């Protein structure tokens, strides 16, 4: 271990703990973030007719022991949470722990089921790749990709969880009527929600681990073992161990994505989990319940990160990076074939372009829930709006908002990432790495609890999450640029920090970061749509993809075509995200 590794590890742990503490402080300050006395909020929630009655406000303050200042309120909530006292619900007047405990257990059971499915899917996809690679080495990427190592994981990872859930309800509840799809009444109730969360997560995990498997299979010790003619079973076990060690931190990101996506899946399947409880509490302004659920998710994320770090330390191969020898560039050469998703995107753009000229706002009750016809190829919604026109305008709204969010995220990512990268060698703060695991749905719950539901709050929630991966990437690029020989030479010649940043660092950072931001634009659109589906974004009557999907779920049995349009666009956005990310890899 080098001398600098211990201070660097200590800084990383300190940054991680500081970030977790900051998140808990924000959660503790939630009742004051909206700029209103919490006692007045309780009065409005419980007794709307009382108005602004000072005597009633003081009575509620004494009843709930509400502090009068944010500082004392944060300290009181944190000290109570350490003792297991999470306060009293403002709506039901029950102890919050009695409400959150069972709900969090249900959500963790669902997340565990989905995690097992995700690991099983990733294992099924990676096992043939590792077995083949141990025998003859990985195939170059320039050839036709193997289905299990390329298209299948990408297709699974591209499936939005809410679309899988809605499709499962449509098939298993409306069409086939074979599996229970609503409620939480035993192991059978976890099958479809677990698959809805586990299949996309398994594809994502397989994609993350495949690069590590391919790199490991090209290392000199693997090539030497393969050439020696020895038994390949120990080799395969060693490769699996290396892949699991490298993939443990990545599994935390996948696990937190499962937790974030479970909010929408719980709503689709009417599961009384923590996500459903927090969502109902946000809409009812029951902030103590929201505080407890968000704090529970933060603690779960911290425990998962600690477990992943422990697995990495136990299984990691010492000095494996130095033993790997020369880097192997498998390449992403274009073989001249046009990707299939380009054709799908072109067709979708043509269809939407025609829809932009159709009136999607005119109401005609005689067309209520009209089925697709020549006049209305995609049918009409519950109030007679032309679904084609609304779909086109909704896509334009969602994508344009995502473009603005991505631009802001790029600016913030450049500023924060380059500052962290130029702080010096070995400065790898844990803050960005912890924040990178926060899903947009959880950020949406926090913002909606503070500001109230709305499209502006949904955009802010997506922005709070979108800048973090860009900052992490900018930090890495800035560290590489800072350690370059020509930059060190510029420092020796007396170049100041401003000139270094303007002439040497920013040109090396901006190009790759702009491409990275463009790759993440569809993900921002999916984040906005997901929050609108939960009721935390656009109004139900506004043409926006998530709101349209949520409105169509209520008519799955009578008008299933209402979900096909927005679900199809969301799938295309997800495919764009995964395909662009794959093509953008160096």
pLDDT in tens, 539-557: 878 888 898 988 888 888 7
- For the chain, what is the radius of gyration of the CA atoms? 26
Burial 249-264 (b: 16+ CB within 10 A, else e): bbbbbbbbbbbbbbbb
- Residue 327 structure tokens: 């880097």
Please report, rounded to a whole number, the percentage of residues in the chain having pLDDT higher than 90.
10
The position carrying tokens 């009557």 is: 541
For the CA atoms of 260, 261, 267, 271, what is the dihedral angle to 10 degrees? -80
CB atoms under 10 Å from CB of 31, counted, come to 27
Residue 11 has pLDDT above 70, yes or no: no
pLDDT digits (tens, 9 = 90+) for 417-426: 887 766 654 4
pLDDT digits (tens, 9 = 90+) for 234-290: 888 888 887 777 677 677 777 777 888 888 899 889 899 998 999 898 888 888 999
pLDDT digits (tens, 9 = 90+) for 97-115: 999 999 999 998 999 899 9
pLDDT greater at residue 438 or residue 538: 538
Lowest mean pLDDT among 245-259, 334-348, 362-376: 334-348
What would the mean pLDDT of 470-475 be, rounded to a whole number?
Answer: 83
pLDDT averaged over the chain?
A: 77
Q: How far apart, in whole angstroms, are the C-alpha atoms of residue 39 and residue 56?
A: 9
- Per DSSP, the residues of 165-225 read HHHHHIIIIIIS--S--SS--SGGGGHHHHHHHHHHHHHHHHHHHHHHHHHHHTSHHHHHH
Helix (H/G/I), strand (E/B), else coil: 160: coil
3-state SS, 25-88, equals: HHHHCHHHHCCCCHHHHHHHHHCHHHCCCHHHHHHHHHHHCCCCCHHHHHHHHHHHHHCCCCCE
For position 319, what pLDDT does the model report? 43
Q: Given pLDDT bands bounded at 50, 70 and 90, which one contains residue 227? A: confident
Q: How far apart, in whole angstroms, are the C-alpha atoms of residue 446 and residue 363?
A: 35
pLDDT digits (tens, 9 = 90+) for 167-200: 888 888 777 777 777 888 878 888 899 999 999 8
Q: How far apart, in whole angstroms, are the C-alpha atoms of residue 542 and residue 381?
A: 12
The position carrying tokens 């912890």 is: 434
Q: How far apart, in whole angstroms, are the C-alpha atoms of residue 530 and residue 442?
A: 11
């Amino acid at each position: 271990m080098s001398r600098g590794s211990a201070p660097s590890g200590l800084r990383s742990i300190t940054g991680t703990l500081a970030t977790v503490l900051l998140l808990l402080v924000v959660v503790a300050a939630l009742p004051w973030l909206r700029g209103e006395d919490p006692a007045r909020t309780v009065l409005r929630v419980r007794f709307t007719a009382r108005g602004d009655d000072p005597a009633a406000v003081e009575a509620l303050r004494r009843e709930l022991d509400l502090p009068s200042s944010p500082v004392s309120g944060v300290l009181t909530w944190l000290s109570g949470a350490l003792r297991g006292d999470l306060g009293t619900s403002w709506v039901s007047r029950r102890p919050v722990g009695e409400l959150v405990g069972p709900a969090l257990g249900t959500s963790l059971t669902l997340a565990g089921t989905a995690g097992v499915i995700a690991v099983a899917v990733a294992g099924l996809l990676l096992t043939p790749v590792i077995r083949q690679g141990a025998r003859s080495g990985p195939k170059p990427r320039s050839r036709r990709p193997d289905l299990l190592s390329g298209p299948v994981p990408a297709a699974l990872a591209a499936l939005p969880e809410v679309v899988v859930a809605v499709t499962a309800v449509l098939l298993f509840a409306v069409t086939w009527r074979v599996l229970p799809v609503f409620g939480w009444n035993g192991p059978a109730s976890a099958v479809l929600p677990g698959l809805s969360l586990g299949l996309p997560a398994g594809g994502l995990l397989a994609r993350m681990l495949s690069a590590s498997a391919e790199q490991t299979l090209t290392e000199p010790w693997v090539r030497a073992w393969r050439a020696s003619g020895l038994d390949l079973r120990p080799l395969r076990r060693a490769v699996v161990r290396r892949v699991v060690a490298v993939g443990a931190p990545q599994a935390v990101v996948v696990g937190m994505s499962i937790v974030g996506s479970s909010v929408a899946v719980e709503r689709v399947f009417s599961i009384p989990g923590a996500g459903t409880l927090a969502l109902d509490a946000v809409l009812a302004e029951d902030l103590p319940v929201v505080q407890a659920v968000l704090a529970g998710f933060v603690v779960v994320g911290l425990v998962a990160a600690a477990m992943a770090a422990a697995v990495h330390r136990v299984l990691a191969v010492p000095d494996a990076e130095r033993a790997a020898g020369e880097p192997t560039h498998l390449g992403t050469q274009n073989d001249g074939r046009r990707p299939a998703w380009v054709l799908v995107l072109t067709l979708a753009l043509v269809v939407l372009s025609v829809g932009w000229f159709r009136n999607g706002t005119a109401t005609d009750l005689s067309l209520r829930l009209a089925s697709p016809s020549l006049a209305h190829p995609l049918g009409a919604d519950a109030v007679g709006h032309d679904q084609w026109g609304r779909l086109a305008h909704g896509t334009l709204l969602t994508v344009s908002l995502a473009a603005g969010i991505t631009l802001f995220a790029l600016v913030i990512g450049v500023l924060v990432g380059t500052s962290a990268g130029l702080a010096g060698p070995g400065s790898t703060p844990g803050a960005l790495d912890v924040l990178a695991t926060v899903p947009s749905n959880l950020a949406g719950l926090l913002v909606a609890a503070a500001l109230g539901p709305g499209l502006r709050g949904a955009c802010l929630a997506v922005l709070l999450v979108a800048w973090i991966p860009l900052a992490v990437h900018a930090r890495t690029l800035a560290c590489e640029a800072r350690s370059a020989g020509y930059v060190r030479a510029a420092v020796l010649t007396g170049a100041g920090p401003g000139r270094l940043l303007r002439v040497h660092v920013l040109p090396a950072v901006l190009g790759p970061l702009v491409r990275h931001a463009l790759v993440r634009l569809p993900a921002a659109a999916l984040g906005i749509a997901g929050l609108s589906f939960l009721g935390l974004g656009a109004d139900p009557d506004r043409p926006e993809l998530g709101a349209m999907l949520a409105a169509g779920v209520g008519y799955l049995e009578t008008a299933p075509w209402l979900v096909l349009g927005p679900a199809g666009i969301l799938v295309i956005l997800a495919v764009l995200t995964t395909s662009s990310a794959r093509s953008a890899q160096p």
